[in-house]
Structure 1
Amino acid sequence: MRAPKEQTGRVTGRRIAGSVAGVAALAGLAGLAWAARGVPAALGGRLAGARAERAARSPQFHDGTFHNRASTRTAPVPDSNLFREMIFGKQQRRPTGAVPLVRPTPAPDVDRARELNLVWYGHASTLIEIEGRRVLLDPVWSDRCSPSDAVGPRRLHEPPVRLDELPQLDAILISHDHYDHLDMATVRELTARQSAPFLVPLGVGAHLDRWGVPAHRVIELDWSQTHRVADLEITCTAAQHFSGRGLRRNGTLWSSWVVAGRQRKVYYTGDSGYFDGYAEIGAAHGPFDATLVQIGAYDRAWPGIHMFPEEAVAAHLDLRGGLFVPVHWATFNLALHDWSEPVDRLWAEAKARDVRLAVPRPGERVVVDDPPPVDGWWQAVA
């Protein structure tokens, strides 16, 4: 007995629908697999063996993880307004036009003993040209700051130079292991193209090991420890932040850095909330010719781990800084504020507190002894 045509049609329809759903599911799985390619390696390594034993001896390490000096909330404070802003907020979180880039020219020919220039490449990635030496901070050249090259925060502008256009480096400094400061692809390319050592906070070397950086090129330091590179003394100093590249937090240390030559000296905050450690660092290592200070990705929901611009100025003064050069803005969209709000607030506060300020375009060299005037270049694309 044959099934009625209507019933046959329903069966056929269900089969087609099932096939379509199956294809969609397979496509979804394929998409997830594509997005997840390379993710396990990007997550990095874990503390083990001698590295774990050394971490356990650190004053910053107890109960199996690293800690700030003061109790600090590192997860966002639950706030209904925060979620409302995420969904319905009208913030201008991307520039309206192209962020202007500058192709760096050769460093000016000056007395090597007095040389001090800064080239900001975007976000926190900065080249310090100091007394003939070259130190690169937190290099991130990838399109996204994420374990995946398919999802995650994407750059608002291209890097102003390629990695193969960088000068020969003397040291590469990493402040902590978050993806916007430590990038696997960039590390691997720098390992192949450069011979400079990587100076990192305790535990971060586990990531570099997994990515193929030779052990002799990895220098791990605790807060207040110094390592000499050529004519420079590079000191790992405190910060108030956290770490983690996966589900586990604070398995590696975070830091700020002091880069000191015979006559010139620079301080880099890394990522940090405002804390009394800045006054201590200023007393122990200052004054500084220049400070590179994080100004973006702040929010009232996480006040202890990223400084507001006004706090950044206070930190600069605590540090006894000379020229203030802002970093950690304009490149990745990592918070809810307007993309240009950090530098607008910074400029106003610097004027109010009589702080010397330079705000370079990505790739623009700042000669610390003769910085360019602040011209509000970002406002044209805000």
Structure 2
Amino acid sequence: MGAPAERTGVDGALGRRLRGAAGLAALAGLAWVARDVPAALGGRLTGARAERAARSPQFRDGAFRNPGGTRSMAGAPDRNLIRELIFGKQKRRPSAPVPLLRPGAAAPAADAARELNVVWYGHASALIEIEGGKVLLDPVWSERCSPSTLVGPRRLHEPPVRLDELPPVDAILISHDHYDHLDMATVQALTALQSAPFLVPLGVGAHLDRWGVPAARIVELDWSESHRVAGLEITATAAQHFSGRGLRRDGTLWSSWVVAGAHRKVFYTGDSGYFDGYAEIGERYGPFDVTLMQIGAYDRAWPSIHMFPEEAVAAHLDLRGGLLLPVHWATFNLALHDWSEPVDRIWAEAKARDVRLAVPRPGERVTVDDPPAVDGWWQAVA
């Protein structure tokens, strides 16, 4: 028999050309991803910044540590976790658009000296309006929380307002350097749009340096250190978490935050597992008019570094909190639980323990002294 005729399917020359073109396209895509990653990874601690970090009580053996020596994962991922990630039946995305609100100007407070509102923009991003001051928490406006614009967890809803629609703020607080809390593009935009200082845990200033934030606008704090701005005392407080934007872990510190005016006080967890530090913070800095508590992205594989919703209620009580406002849910898919599970669980636990709760829609302003009733709005889209 003579040689078989040239085939034009995927096994023939045409197929080889197509596969070659696809391979080149894939390589080009990888090159693009690789190109936009290095800057987003941030900076490294050097010089005086590294020396200051080394003097911190939280810094031991070349890295920052939790007092209890916790690990970010409870051992290697087990088969059940991997199986659930691939085959799990959890409903990890809403089935309808998340309702968004556009906050207008805040209504004049009956007593401006006691004003206290919170606008939640989604995930951990929020604006605290306190006694005439404005403090922005963990702003992330990018489409993905990732070092790349092409891969990584993608938003489940748009930001309710554009960055250029934010009011002038007095301080921008960053809890730690994970991508869902510290976003290069957002920081660079806010550097141009705002004049406020960035208050960050030790070492995080190295990232801001690399991204062009002026040194005069970077304030790095260790736990229990404070900075005054616009009549507010802002204090970095303990958290039980970890840090890292690349392969190296724990080269920068993580923190929770206390924002205190003359009359009102706010606590924000950042990311943290449940630990006895909450009772200590409540004793030293509380009571708090409102606590912004991390409730999402939990799993039994990492119980020490993210709270379960019931633990968030317990921490709120330890902190001597008044109103509880849950954050760190709804916007990014970062764990295996159902999209609405965190807020369903915290609503049930808050009712069981007689805790005042507000669950705003993204963009909704909550007046702490007169919060909206919890109406289960998320259940219609879950």
Provide TM-score, normalisation by structure 2: 0.96
1:139-188 Cα deviation digits (max 9, x unpaired): 00001000011110011100000000000000000000000000000000
In structure 2, the partner of 1:241 is 241
Distance 2:22 2:3 in 1: 27
In structure 1, the partner of 2:59 is 61
Distance 1:92 1:22 in 2: 38
**How far apart are 1:9 and its partner, in Å?**
4.2
**How far apart are 1:328 and its partner, in Å?**
0.1
In structure 2, the partner of 1:85 is 84
Amino acid at match of 2:107: P
In structure 2, the partner of 1:6 is 3
**How far apart are 1:80 and its partner, in Å?**
1.5
1:21 aligns with 2:19: yes
In structure 1, the partner of 2:104 is 105
SS at match of 1:347: helix
Q: How many residues align?
A: 379
**How far apart are 1:16 and its partner, in Å?**
4.9
In structure 2, the partner of 1:38 is 36
In angstroms, what is the RMSD of aligned CA positions?
Answer: 1.6
In structure 2, the partner of 1:50 is 48
SS at match of 2:251: coil
Amino acid at match of 2:3: E
Tell me if the contact between 2:6 and 2:13 (Cα under 8 Å) persists in the aligned partners.
no
Distance 2:329 2:25 in 1: 36
How do residues 272-311 of structure 1 correspond to structure 2 at under 5 angstroms? 272-311=272-311
SS at match of 2:3: helix
Distance 1:15 1:338 in 2: 47
In structure 2, the partner of 1:125 is 125
1:46-76 Cα deviation digits (max 9, x unpaired): 1111100000000000111100010212025
Structure 1 range deviating more: 74-83 or 174-183: 74-83
In structure 1, the partner of 2:315 is 315
Distance 2:263 2:143 in 1: 37
Tell me if the contact between 2:121 and 2:159 (Cα under 8 Å) persists in the aligned partners.
yes
1:177 aligns with 2:177: yes
**How far apart are 1:35 and its partner, in Å?**
2.8
**How far apart are 1:211 and its partner, in Å?**
0.3
Distance 2:53 2:301 in 1: 30
**How far apart are 1:24 and its partner, in Å?**
2.3
Identity %: 79
Structure 1 range deviating more: 217-226 or 74-83: 74-83
Distance 1:88 1:62 in 2: 40
Unaligned 5+ segments in structure 2 are none
**How far apart are 1:8 and its partner, in Å?**
8.0
1:259 aligns with 2:259: yes
Distance 2:230 2:126 in 1: 19
1:78-117 Cα deviation digits (max 9, x unpaired): 3221111111110000001000001101111012201000
SS at match of 2:325: strand
Amino acid at match of 2:274: Y
Provide TM-score, normalisation by structure 1: 0.96
Unaligned 5+ segments in structure 1 are none
1:194-233 Cα deviation digits (max 9, x unpaired): 0000000000000000000000000000000011112000
Amino acid at match of 2:53: A
SS at match of 1:135: strand
Distance 1:146 1:214 in 2: 24
Distance 2:4 2:89 in 1: 52
